Amino acid sequence: MIHLRLVAPPERAAEVLDFLDATPSVINLIHLRGAAHKPDGDVILCDVAREDGTRVLSELRDLRLHHEGTIAVEYIDTSISDAARAAERAAPGAVADAVIWESVRAHTFEEADLSFTFVAFMTLATLIAAMGILTDSIVLIIGAMIVGPEFGPLAGICVAAVERRWTLVRRSAQALLVGFPIGITAAFILTLALDGAGVAPEGLPATREATLFISHPDTYSVLVALAAGIAGTLSLTTIKSGALIGVLVSITTIPAAANIAVAAAYADWGEWRGAQLQLLVNLAAILAAGTGTLLVQRWAYRRRAIRAAERRGARAGAILR
């Protein structure tokens, strides 16, 4: 379930309470008159079955509560009561499939911001991957994949594209267009420095076993990136967030960027072109798979919500925006 903390202007509070009280998936409804300041108003607390969360939030937005008051969402790990079970039975769909679209927007857009932290993680991840390529260490390559923050902006592009928020698409793309060149430049400088110090190998051996795949994309590269894009999107939109680590380990965007830098430092243009192709293939496949997954999830949600509204005899106007 999810917990809602609402602040409603006194003139809106009755309308909000009537809606929540009439919704079977809402329990633990509490009204605190005049308890809120900044903004001033009544505090309304309630718990909502996760499956019905998006519909309830959409209705609250229709009441302009996000403009005239505030809406805060928190996740409840465990709720033990007959009332909670009844609320979940009243909501359409399965808990594991429920998507709180407002939370998805907030999470992905926050991760998509171009910030010092994002650039720092991109740089560090690319440096680790570069050292993994130079030492032919799959352990370092996996470590770089986990450290890399690039999936956040990729997910942000997918969510923003599905919702046609083109300003947010540009913001997410900007993070990638700045982060990748900075990481590649840092890895290029590191490789030159290690080579000048005599620490790096004299060249990139064509027979390196653990990391040669990074600059040699094939059919499996496309299939893995598509699967990773689907799995990553599902992990961000549902409660299966633990799967995201496995997704990050399966995509080679950061290693490919590092290989571009290392190959350029050695003037190995065949490796350089292969790594560029690998990076483009991964980015395109992840974006296509992520966007497609979100479209399917929204379609499935609309169908469930419309059917539930028809069973209740309620209007289905505010199903999803």
Residues 133 and 262 in one domain: yes
* Polymer length of the chain: 321
Residues 198 and 67 in one domain: no
Do residues 55 and 305 make contact, with C-beta atoms less than 8 angstroms apart? Answer: yes
**Residue 307, pLDDT above cutoff 80:** no
Asked, for residue 206, whether it belongs to a domain, the answer is yes
Encoded amino acid at 295, one letter? L
Per-residue pLDDT reduced to its tens digit, 243-294 = 565 566 667 899 999 999 999 999 999 999 999 999 999 999 999 999 999 9
Residues 44 and 128 in one domain: no
Q: pLDDT-derived band of residue 316, with 50, 70 and 90 as boundaries?
A: very low
Asked, for residue 307, whether it belongs to a domain, the answer is no
Give the separation between CA 230 and CA 280, rounded to whole angstroms. 17
Number of domains in the chain: 2
Give the pLDDT mean for 202-224: 83
Residues 150 and 297 in one domain: yes
Residues 150 and 225 in one domain: yes
Residues 83 and 141 in one domain: no
Residues 140 and 50 in one domain: no
Which of residues 36, 70, 98 is at a domain's end? 98
Residues 132 and 274 in one domain: yes
Residues 144 and 262 in one domain: yes
Handedness of CA 179, 180, 181, 184 (dihedral sign): positive
Note the pLDDT of residue 245: 59
Query: CA dihedral in degrees (288, 292, 293, 295; nearest 10)?
Result: 140
Distances (CA, A) of 2 to 52, 59, 70, 180: 10, 16, 16, 37
Which of residues 98, 114, 142 is at a domain's end? 98
Residues 63 and 112 in one domain: no
Encoded amino acid at 196, one letter? G
Per-residue pLDDT reduced to its tens digit, 137-161 = 999 999 999 898 998 899 899 998 9
Q: Which domain holds residue 267?
A: 104-302
The CATH number for 18's domain is 3.30.70
Asked, for residue 286, whether it belongs to a domain, the answer is yes
Asked, for residue 316, whether it belongs to a domain, the answer is no
Asked, for residue 309, whether it belongs to a domain, the answer is no
Do residues 287 and 226 make contact, with C-beta atoms less than 8 angstroms apart? Answer: no
Give the separation between CA 151 and CA 168, rounded to whole angstroms. 15
Q: Which two tokens stand for residue 79?
A: 């709720």
Per-residue pLDDT reduced to its tens digit, 77-114 = 888 899 999 988 888 766 666 778 777 877 777 777 88
Encoded amino acid at 109, one letter? F
**Residue 319, pLDDT above cutoff 70:** no
Asked, for residue 157, whether it belongs to a domain, the answer is yes
Asked, for residue 159, whether it belongs to a domain, the answer is yes
Most confident by average pLDDT, 41-45, 76-80, 104-108, 200-204 = 41-45
Nearest-CA neighbor of 147 among 173, 177, 170, 117?
Answer: 117
Residues 77 and 162 in one domain: no
Asked, for residue 310, whether it belongs to a domain, the answer is no
**Residue 314, pLDDT above cutoff 60:** no
The CATH number for 218's domain is 1.20.1080
Most confident by average pLDDT, 63-77, 184-198, 230-244 = 184-198
Q: Is 205 helix (H, G, I), strand (E, B) or coil?
A: coil
Q: Which two tokens stand for residue 83?
A: 């009332």
Residues 164 and 199 in one domain: yes
Note the pLDDT of residue 17: 95
pTM: 0.80
Note the pLDDT of residue 317: 46
The enclosing H or E element of 4 equals strand 2-8
